[in-house]
């Protein structure tokens, strides 16, 4: 009689299983969900909720959240799957496709494959290739103005996060032709109007391994008049399908791989350490008002922590060896998984502080980026404050911060809880140094003490993410004092 052999699934198969979990089922026996202490707070018992009006009704506006929702785009992952996009759009019955890209990607193999695939299936399309890297409100408005007269019935984004985010907003504002631009922009900079109807199909083909925008309902841009980054966030904004083809990330320069990967790193760490969903207030008065960023929850945790470990393992390899296809592929997978995690749990201080850092750039251009304008890449602007941030957030949940430090290879067996922040900060600092060519704090970007007040004022409007930051004060002056101390701590590391 032969013995049964157990085959261990590879990372891609495990990830596919996790994605199917979100799409189809969430068994009540999930070990994370069945552990009431997992988020330090036991969710309210059903019996407590039945004795009165304790669901999403107007009377609950000041209560803590009691539920979370999971939403993610359908994902197709595999080397060569870009060639299927023509069939996808034909299957959707699309007749007028708006292909969105930037001038660099427009010359690369990914766009060549897209053109061939659409032409082969007889799908009509026009290409908008004027996406600005790190979009501004002006470039978004130009893209919307280009799309409206064409009136596409589907969108196809081919590029990094800037391209995918621009396509999301083109889709949104062509579907709401009478809307004012600030109607959907996150409050308090905009009106925060919910997207109350389905948009046109959007297929996203990422060419960088970083933003995870192919899975999320978030689109980010610079609001120049306010000197701040903001955006639109709603589940209906998320792509219909993300086509994740590792062949498309081979052309990323080393500096772009590093910066994109640091975004994955912080997506993972911030969503892993965000406040538990049961601590977020207010409880929505209507399910449509439940935000995309909800706080850490048992499903997002699985994606976030897996992505963190994969990034620590594969990002240095992918940066140092462009021929390491396994590392490049695993980083694209990590970016997508982190997108599912943070797209539902949210990010907090690293991202909230990064928006004024990039928006108020004193003139820094990151090495390896051949562009005419000064630029602090998004991943760089996020990671530069990470040691200071996690030193600050650690007291909220030392166990989680220690587990994160362990993911970096730290032996935590004898580390005291009160040392969790310092240990994780040291691990992050070493990781950034070993990665190479990363600024060692805000001073290396050209910022000084005279810039701190402006950076604080640029962070305050990021309520969508700051509300998820553990340990951050709710009173305005106290919050400003804490942010000022964080920026001071982030000057050097």
Domain of 141, CATH number, reads 3.40.50.1970
pLDDT in tens, 415-426: 999 999 999 999
Domain limit, last residue, from 249, 277, 310: 249
362 and 218 in one domain? no
Can you give the pLDDT at residue 84? 98
339: CB partners within 8 A, 6+ apart: 72, 211, 212, 213, 214, 215, 216, 267
Strand residues in 298-420 grouped as ranges (E): none
pLDDT above 90: percentage of residues in the chain: 80
The tokens describing 1, both together, are 């009689």
pLDDT in tens, 58-78: 556 579 999 999 999 999 999
Residue 65 lies in a domain: no
pLDDT reading at 8 higher than 50: no
396 and 296 in one domain? yes
Contact 315, 265 (CB under 8 A): yes
474 and 331 in one domain? yes
Pick 52 or 287 by higher pLDDT. Answer: 287
Query: In total, how many domains does the chain have?
Result: 2
Contact 251, 325 (CB under 8 A): no
Say whether 265 sits in a helix, a strand or coil: helix
Mean pLDDT to the nearest integer, 273-280: 97
Structural domain including 233 reads 74-249
Pick 229 or 268 by higher pLDDT. Answer: 268
CA 311 – CA 205 distance, rounded (Å): 20
261 and 163 in one domain? no
Provide the pLDDT confidence category of residue 55 given band limits of 50, 70 and 90: very low
pLDDT in tens, 317-337: 999 999 999 999 999 999 999
Mean pLDDT to the nearest integer, 212-222: 94
Residue 156 lies in a domain: yes
* CA-to-CA separations, 380 to 266, 357, 471, in angstroms, rounded: 10, 10, 24
């Amino acid at each position: 009689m032969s013995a049964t052999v157990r085959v261990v699934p590879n990372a891609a198969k495990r990830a596919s299983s996790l994605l199917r979990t979100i799409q189809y089922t969430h068994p009540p026996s999930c070990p994370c969900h069945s552990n009431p202490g997992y988020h330090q707070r036991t969710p309210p018992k059903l019996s407590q909720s039945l004795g009165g009006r304790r669901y999403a009704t107007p009377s609950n506006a000041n209560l803590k959240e009691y539920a979370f929702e999971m939403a993610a785009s359908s994902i197709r992952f595999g080397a060569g799957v870009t060639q299927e996009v023509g069939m996808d759009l034909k299957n959707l019955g699309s007749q007028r496709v708006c292909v969105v890209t930037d001038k660099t990607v427009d010359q690369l193999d990914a766009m060549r494959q897209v053109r061939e695939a659409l032409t082969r299936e007889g799908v009509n399309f026009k290409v908008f290739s004027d996406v600005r890297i790190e979009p501004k409100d002006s470039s978004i408005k130009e893209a919307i103005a280009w799309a409206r007269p064409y009136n596409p019935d589907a969108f196809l984004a081919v590029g990094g996060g800037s391209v995918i985010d621009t396509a999301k907003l083109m889709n949104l504002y062509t579907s709401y032709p009478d809307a004012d631009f600030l109607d959907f922009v996150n409050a308090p900079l905009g009106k925060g109007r919910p997207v109350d109807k389905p948009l046109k199909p959007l297929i996203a083909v990422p060419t960088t391994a970083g933003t995870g925008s192919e899975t999320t309902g978030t689109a980010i841009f610079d609001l120049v008049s306010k000197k701040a980054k903001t955006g639109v966030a709603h589940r209906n904004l998320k792509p219909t399908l993300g086509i994740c083809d590792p062949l498309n990330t081979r052309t990323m320069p080393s500096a772009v791989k590093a910066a994109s990967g640091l975004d994955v790193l912080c997506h993972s760490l911030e969503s892993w350490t965000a406040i538990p969903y049961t601590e977020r207030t207010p409880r929505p008065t209507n399910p449509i008002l439940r935000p995309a960023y909800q706080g850490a929850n048992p499903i997002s945790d699985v994606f976030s922590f897996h992505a963190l470990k994969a990034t620590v393992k594969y990002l240095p390899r992918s940066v140092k060896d462009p021929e390491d296809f396994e590392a490049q592929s695993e980083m694209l997978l990590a970016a997508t998984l982190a997108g599912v995690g943070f797209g539902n749990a949210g990010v907090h201080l690293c991202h909230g502080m990064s928006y004024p850092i990039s928006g108020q750039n004193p003139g820094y251009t990151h090495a390896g980026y051949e562009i005419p304008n000064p630029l602090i890449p998004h991943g760089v602007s996020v990671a530069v404050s990470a040691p200071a941030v996690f030193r600050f957030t650690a007291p909220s949940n030392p166990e989680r911060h220690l587990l994160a430090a362990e993911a970096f290879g730290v032996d935590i067996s004898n580390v005291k809880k009160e040392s969790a922040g310092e240990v994780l900060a040291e691990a992050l600092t070493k990781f950034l140094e070993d990665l190479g060519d990363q600024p060692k704090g805000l001073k290396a970007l050209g910022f000084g003490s005279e810039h701190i007040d402006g950076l604080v004022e640029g962070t305050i409007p990021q309520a969508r993410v700051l509300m998820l930051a553990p340990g951050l004060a709710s009173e305005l002056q106290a919050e400003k004092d804490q942010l000022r101390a964080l920026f001071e701590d982030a000057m050097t590391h």
